[in-house]
Structure 1
Amino acid sequence: MHVFVTGATGWVGSAVVQELIDAGHQVTGLARSDDKAAALAGTGAKVIRGTLDDLDVLHQAASAADAVIHTAFNHDFSRFVENAEQDRHVIETLGSALQGSERPLLVTSGLLGLTRGASELEVPSPASPRKSETAARALVERGVRVATVRLAPSVHGLGDHGFVPILIRLARETGVSAYLGDGSHCWSGVHRLDAARVYRLALEQGVTQSVYHAVADEAVPFKDIALAIGRGLGLPVESREREHFGWFAHMAGANMAVSSQYTRALLGWTPSSSPGLLADLELPGYYHAD
């Protein structure tokens, strides 16, 4: 299968590219700079230069592929509304290139807007700021074979530069590893290599469902994450008010914990790349990656 991948040099996308290539698929990836293009070419993938604003480039690349995986998203949180709108345009463009065919599209989203313990069948709140899944559902009505991979808020592993490293940086800056309230609200976690296998397995099985949950640790109490960070940095662990977390307070206080039992059974997916988020946070190298 020839798969076009956006975000092909990113934290998740690069793992997806390698997973596909190792399984014998051909990959074309989007790269926005010379160094990222060289790194992508080194994996054996073909390279298309461009950005998420190059809609004509994206449409052409998707039109030439047997399947498309969209993992790219601009994580500049100061422009989140604009970036969510950009993401919607990209998904619409990729979908229009596949419309009228059976070629599948996998898009990426998160767990915000879902209730704790939600299954793959639950639809996120319309108030959820990211619109990836809404855009995907609109394509279904146009006959596009599309599904959403919902990623855990912590896609962990050495080299992580996602939400947990934000907490690590905040702990270093403030001298305390903090949690909101009693810290009983939970995040989910998944190792990046396990997440990559969800994308591959979903493609190979024909994208038969509308949603997949790339979630290994289904419910990790936020206080336990703070305790692990405190141990890793040798800092006290304390409850703090929302002001302590600044712009990140909405995420730090959110319940982002769902079930992945249906995805596991459907895909035959058993997370195996790591003993779990908390175990990864006990590794000294994790604190060199932020």
Structure 2
Amino acid sequence: MRVFVTGATGWIGSAVVDELLGSGHEVLGLARSDRSAAVLEAKNALAHRGDLDDLDSLRRGAAAADGVVHLANKHDWGDPQECDRAERAAVEAMLDALEGTAKPFVIANGLSGIVEDGLVLESDASPAVGPESDRGGSENLALGAVSRGIRSVAVRFAPTVHGRGDWGFVNFLTQAARERGVSGYVGDGSVAWSAVHVGDAAELIRLGLERAPAGTRMHAVAEESVPTKVIAEAIGASLGLPVVSIDPADVSEHFGFVGDFFALRMTASSDATRELLSWKPNGPGLVEDIASGAYLAG
């Protein structure tokens, strides 16, 4: 299968490209720069020049492939409205190119905002609907395109997709600990996150691309619930720093933008995903990864 991958040189995308190539697929990766193109070509993937604002390029990439994995996002925390606008426009463009083909379209989403408390289940629909909603309502937009003859599949990622080289939330928490001289957690630290190793997440995306039925919601979750205090303790131990509670009123000042997420419960079950696709995550756990020094290079 030739697979068009957006975000192909990002943290998760790089692992997905390796997983697809290692399983005998051909990869056409979206590349914004000469450097990104060179990274892809060094892996024997094909580079497709463009970005999320180049809608014609996205249409051509989708049309030239047997399936699409959409992982790219602007992730501009200072301008979320622009991120949402760009995401919806990009998804619309690729769906237009795939209409009536029965080809798979795997779209990424997160867990925040789907339910207010408790575990998110694969059966829980995202409340984000329409252009003004989170991510431009792109998950529901894609899943709604099943009626247009597209095998749309949503993959919802745990808040930490961890591993050596991760520049996501745990990396930002580690940076905050270095800068502040303490590893913090919010309040009593009982709020929890789900977690998944990047290699396990990449395998799940491949499985979903290959055989998930149209309309499936997959959860890339290996560990259902890791208390944020436990995460802070692991970071503190890795850096040799004390571990302290941060008052909820001081979260933004202490952690920066990541503090708002660290204060949120973001946990999900992946039972239905595992049963459907025989997915068996076997990578290291989050605390094990932190303890191994995966976040010390930043």
Smaller-chain TM-score range? over 0.9
**Mapped partners of 1:257, 1:157: distance in 2:** 19
**Mapped partners of 1:210, 1:85: distance in 2:** 24
**3-state DSSP class of the match of 1:78?**
coil
For 2:238, the equivalent position in structure 1 comes to 232
CA RMSD of aligned residues (A): 1.6
TM-score w.r.t. structure 1 length?
Answer: 0.95
Following TM superposition, by how much is the alpha carbon of 1:206 offset from its aligned partner in structure 2, in angstroms?
Answer: 4.5
Q: Is the 8 A contact 1:114 1:256 kept in 2?
A: no
What CA deviation, in whole Å up to 9, does each residue of 1:198-230 have, x standing for no partner? 111111114444210011011100110001011
Deviates more, 1:45-54 or 1:74-83: 74-83
After TM superposition, list the pairs within 5 Å mapping 1:21-100 onto structure 2. 21-100=21-100
Change in CA separation of 1:246 and 1:26 when aligned onto 2, cut-off 3 Å: closer
What CA deviation, in whole Å up to 9, does each residue of 1:38-97 have, x standing for no partner? 110111111111111110011011011110000111122112221122111111111111
**Mapped partners of 1:6, 1:83: distance in 2:** 15
Number of paired residues? 288
Q: Could you tell me the percent identity over the aligned residues?
A: 48
**Mapped partners of 2:39, 2:76: distance in 1:** 23
For 2:193, the equivalent position in structure 1 comes to 187
Q: Is the 8 A contact 1:112 1:124 kept in 2?
A: no
**Mapped partners of 2:119, 2:294: distance in 1:** 31
After TM superposition, list the pairs within 5 Å mapping 1:275-290 onto structure 2. 276-288=285-297, 290=298
**3-state DSSP class of the match of 2:78?**
helix
Tell me, yes or no, if structure 1 residue 218 matches structure 2 residue 227.
no
Q: 2:122 aligns with which of 100, 109, 120?
A: 120
After TM superposition, list the pairs within 5 Å mapping 1:252-267 onto structure 2. 252-267=262-277
For 2:163, the equivalent position in structure 1 comes to 157
Deviates more, 1:158-167 or 1:240-249: 240-249
Change in CA separation of 1:126 and 1:36 when aligned onto 2, cut-off 3 Å: closer
Q: Is the 8 A contact 2:194 2:267 kept in 1?
A: yes
Where in structure 2 are there 5+ consecutive unaligned residues? none
**Mapped partners of 1:199, 1:278: distance in 2:** 23
**Mapped partners of 1:81, 1:196: distance in 2:** 28
**3-state DSSP class of the match of 1:223?**
helix
Where in structure 1 are there 5+ consecutive unaligned residues? none
Following TM superposition, by how much is the alpha carbon of 1:109 offset from its aligned partner in structure 2, in angstroms?
Answer: 0.6
**Mapped partners of 1:149, 1:72: distance in 2:** 13
**Mapped partners of 1:186, 1:201: distance in 2:** 27
